[in-house]
């Protein structure tokens, strides 16, 4: 059930069409009658996030008074005086009691022991809301909720825990909580966002999870792109993950219904190293941005480079063209590989010419210093250097210019390209193309070169004589 938590009575009528139950935070406001709608009454104690600093005796007196209004549910802290809990259970047998626990600093190591300590025969539902200090804490709580043997609502608070606000139906939460507005301090989504972005009503325990992992992830539009396009029971969330926790992350994902991942900086090379299988292109590039989970195996490939070239080929064919690539890092490496596969002549320009020449030698391209850009003709220019460190070079007029950066869409380079009469391709176009390819991979059960140019044919020797990426 979806619970709308309100701290102001003026919000009640507005949230009712968007939820199943309204939680009235009675430590924030008073009422004299119960709304004509299923309600949870909550009078939170100060130590667990309540607003009013009053004695425990006074708080329990207020709770008993409000229960005369016969709400459907009462949320009460599990460590409340057992005698009081027993007394209200007897006096108000039709009110279901939710035994709750909140930790605004951490996620306890032993969640089983925590739940056991909360047990009370009068509780119909248990609620555990704890703070994730990293994404491993989030996954631990989701797995615990999925395997719970009692009616449970498990909420991971804080920035790292935000995906739990969406994934409650997937792990079997009895109650999920949202507010009328986004609440940045709680990292809680609004009711509108849950419905319109994440399609909350369609989520269930058969839903597959897809996620972006990396750090930073805030600016990624992945959840806005993927969720409307899933053609199967799936949801896409963003999980902030640092390099230190990658191996632990992949040790835990098998315990949850993950279907795939998008991988962003700084994890593309590190995640590559923990894959069970890799596409030949991923092996050649040494980095991945896409993971598919199938039969308990992780399968890595790269859609960045095909996405970039696909965006360009909406304007012109690549075969036989001269492509100038600015930069010699991982993105430049991937695009160089794909451009050569499509029959382009590639020129690599970098501040450190040794790096551009090393990369060029590996892929049969030409390498130069960035200062030499104006000395060599090209048809297409692709910038992979971040805006903060990129010197905007002099450009040839009326060429095609792409910048892989998608925020902002119009980078200094593209502004200069517009002034030179060039056709400009933004990083957002590249993002969309690579994301479309991810969608194809995630929803397909067959991976052949005819359907996806960036994956190998089944006869490819580089595929290692079989395996997932050579499957028909």
- What are the tokens at 276? 């069970």
**DSSP state, residue 207:** P
Q: Tell me whether strands 297-301 and 290-294 are parallel, antiparallel or unpaired.
A: antiparallel
Furthest CA-CA distance within the chain = 88
Give the Cα separation of 472 and 314 in Å (integer): 28
Give the Cα separation of 18 and 45 in Å (integer): 27
**DSSP state, residue 406:** -
Q: What are the beta bridge partners of residue 208? A: 234
- What are the tokens at 211? 């996620």
Is residue 343 packed enough to be buried (19+ CB in 10 Å), middle (13-18) or exposed (0-12)? exposed
Give the Cα separation of 438 and 300 in Å (integer): 11
The residue count of the chain comes to: 472
Count of helix runs (H) and strand runs (E) in the chain: 16, 20
Q: Looking at the annotation, which residues are catalytic?
A: 102, 127, 268
Give the Cα separation of 131 and 145 in Å (integer): 15
């Amino acid at each position: 059930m979806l619970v709308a938590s309100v701290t102001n009575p003026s919000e009640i009528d507005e949230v009712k069409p968007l939820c199943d139950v309204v939680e009235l935070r009675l430590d924030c406001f008073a009422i004299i009658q119960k709304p004509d709608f299923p309600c949870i009454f909550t009078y939170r104690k100060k130590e667990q996030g309540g607003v009013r600093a009053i004695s425990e005796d006074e708080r329990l007196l207020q709770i008993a008074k409000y229960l005369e209004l016969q709400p459907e549910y009462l949320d009460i802290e599990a460590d409340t005086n057992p005698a009081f809990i027993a007394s209200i259970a007897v006096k108000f047998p039709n009110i279901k009691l939710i035994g709750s626990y909140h930790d605004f600093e951490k996620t306890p190591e032993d969640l089983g022991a925590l739940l056991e300590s909360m047990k009370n025969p009068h509780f119909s539902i248990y609620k555990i809301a704890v703070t994730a200090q990293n994404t491993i804490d989030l996954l631990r709580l989701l797995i615990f909720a999925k395997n719970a043997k009692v009616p449970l609502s498990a909420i991971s608070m804080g920035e790292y825990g935000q995906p739990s606000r969406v994934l409650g139906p997937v792990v079997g939460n009895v109650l999920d909580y949202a507010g009328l507005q986004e609440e940045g301090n709680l990292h809680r989504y609004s009711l509108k966002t849950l419905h319109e972005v994440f399609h909350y009503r369609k989520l269930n325990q058969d839903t597959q999870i897809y996620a972006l992992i990396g750090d930073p992830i805030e600016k990624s539009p992945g959840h806005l792109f993927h969720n409307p396009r899933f053609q199967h029971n799936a949801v896409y969330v963003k999980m902030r993950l640092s390099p230190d926790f990658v191996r632990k992350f992949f040790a835990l994902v098998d315990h949850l219904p993950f279907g795939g991942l998008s991988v962003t900086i700084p994890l593309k090379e590190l995640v590559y190293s923990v894959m069970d299988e890799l596409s030949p292109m991923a092996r050649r590039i040494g980095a991945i941005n896409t993971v598919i989970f199938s039969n308990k195996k992780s399968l890595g490939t790269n859609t960045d480079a095909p996405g970039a070239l696909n965006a360009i080929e909406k304007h012109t064919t690549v075969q036989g063209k001269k492509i100038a690539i600015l930069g010699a890092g991982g993105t430049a490496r991937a695009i160089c590989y794909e451009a050569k596969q499509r029959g382009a002549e590639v020129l690599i320009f970098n501040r450190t010419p040794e790096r551009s020449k090393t990369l060029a030698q590996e892929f049969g391209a030409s390498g130069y210093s960035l200062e030499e850009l104006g000395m060599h003709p090209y048809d297409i220019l692709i910038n992979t250097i971040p805006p903060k460190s990129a010197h905007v070079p002099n450009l040839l007029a009326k060429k095609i210019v792409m910048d892989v950066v998608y925020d902002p869409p119009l980078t200094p380079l593209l502004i200069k390209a517009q002034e030179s009469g060039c056709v400009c391709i933004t990083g957002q176009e590249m993002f969309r193309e690579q994301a479309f390819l991810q969608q194809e991979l995630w929803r397909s059960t067959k991976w052949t070169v005819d359907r996806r140019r960036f994956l190998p044919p089944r006869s490819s020797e580089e595929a290692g004589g079989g395996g997932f990426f050579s499957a028909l």
